[in-house]
Amino acid sequence: MPDVVDLIRAKRDGGRLADPDIDWLMTAYTGGLIADEQMSALLMAIFFRGLDPAELRAWTAAMIASGERLDLSAVPAPTVDKHSTGGVGDKVSLILAPLVASCGAAVPQLSGRGLGHTGGTLDKLESIPGWRAQLDNAEIVSVLRTAGCVICAAGAGLAPADRRLYALRDVTATVESIPLIASSIMSKKIAEGTGALVLDVKVGSGAFMKKIDAARDLARTMVGLGAAAGVRTSALLTRMDTPLGRAAGNALEVEESVATLRGEGPEDLVEVTLALAREMLALAGVEADPATALADGRALATYREMIAAQGGAPDAPLPVAPCSAVVPAAESGYLRRLDAFAVGVAAWRLGAGRARKEDAVSASAGVICRAKPGDQVTAGEPLLELRADDEARFGRALEALEGAIQIGARPPEPQPAVLERIGP
């Protein structure tokens, strides 16, 4: 049996962990034989020393082997999923899953909750009365077979090692490690049993990856892990310097998603969603035009079917915050910058996000962008509308927005929403 202290020392000094040692580490840790303090030390060593490609493949495989794998063999359509690294106003999953399903693929979307300035897909959908995030494996397969798509929480049995490791990383300042990020994401996605996977790696001020080089490195690492596990995988790098769409907040983003499914979506949101849909359908081997499915109502019908299959009432009114305030334009001109990170923090402080995983969130709080970069604005007109359950929250939200808005005499240069593709 290996000695965990020897393994920590070896990685600390730049050595390589052997595959059997990695398997033993993961089994021993999830079985309670390795203390959190020791695993924290190993994570810090990995943070500084990294994992080579073979080590990372073994590390990810051991995380997957720590639990069960979802069996989707009863689903008749080819399966394909999408994962986003998170951003502000990123409600793409709510539109994308039913859109791709309406084109003939099956989408098993295991999603998460928001933390800090980034929103969580499950938090958004839970603003719909009756909708359930927690489904067992049989229910997941049943919804996939009937609606063609499902958006739900990952079960406790999928990659349980990741749940424990993520909690440690969060409190030991080891989150920002590409090998640890990649293995965390890909262990869950591979364990869910999808045949193909498209990664939406956000880049910019409101993203986890601020610089394109780091985003590219993460994307390439995850694409490699997917390919090694037999999952057809590609990635799109997408811009996250300004909020995606015009809404940031749970019910507000559901409302905007439904509008997009009706053909009334903001241009940037539609551009990113269609690019990801085309990529997903290509990997799944399905020939279809998602733009047509968005325009003719098929995607909206599939969304409604998915929501109802998970206990939700697609026609029920969404919660509306009782308090609102506006941020006006200080001068006339063109909106040149609207910082995504600042808007995300403001939405969080208004109640739409959480500082800790156990915190409650407001369904109705958030920010509506009445103008986006490139729009011509007039002094005094509303640029942002803030929504909250308690007007006492407005002060700190307004503080977060200081310096986030820039107005100039000329519009900014148009920027593509999709920066590049990485994959086979």
Question: Out of 11, 82, 83, 117, which one is annotated catalytic?
Answer: 83
Question: Out of 66, 111, 127, 184, which one is annotated catalytic?
Answer: 184
53-65 vs 160-171: helix crossing angle, rounded to 10 = 120
- Kindly state the tokens that stand for 289: 């035009």
Does the active-site annotation cover 142? no
Instruction: Report the distance separating Cα 335 and Cα 411, nearest Å.
Output: 7
DSSP symbols for 40-100: HHHHHHHHHH---HHHHHHHHHHHHHTSB----TT--SPBEEEEE---SS--HHHHHHHHH
Question: Out of 21, 90, 162, 200, which one is annotated catalytic?
Answer: 162
| Nearest of 344, 401, 277, 264 to residue 89 by alpha carbon | 344
Question: Out of 57, 117, 124, 188, which one is annotated catalytic?
Answer: 188
Q: To which residue do tokens 């309406």 refer?
A: 102
Which H/E stretch holds residue 405? strand 405-408
Outline where DSSP puts E strands in 188-280: 196-203, 232-239, 247-249
Write the single-letter amino acid at 167.
Answer: A
Does the active-site annotation cover 11? no
Write the single-letter amino acid at 171.
Answer: V
Does the active-site annotation cover 162? yes
Does the active-site annotation cover 83? yes
Question: Out of 113, 124, 169, 278, which one is annotated catalytic?
Answer: 169
Does the active-site annotation cover 169? yes
- Kindly state the tokens that stand for 139: 């229910």
| Nearest of 116, 155, 114 to residue 133 by alpha carbon | 155
Would you name the residues annotated as active-site residues? 83, 162, 169, 184, 188
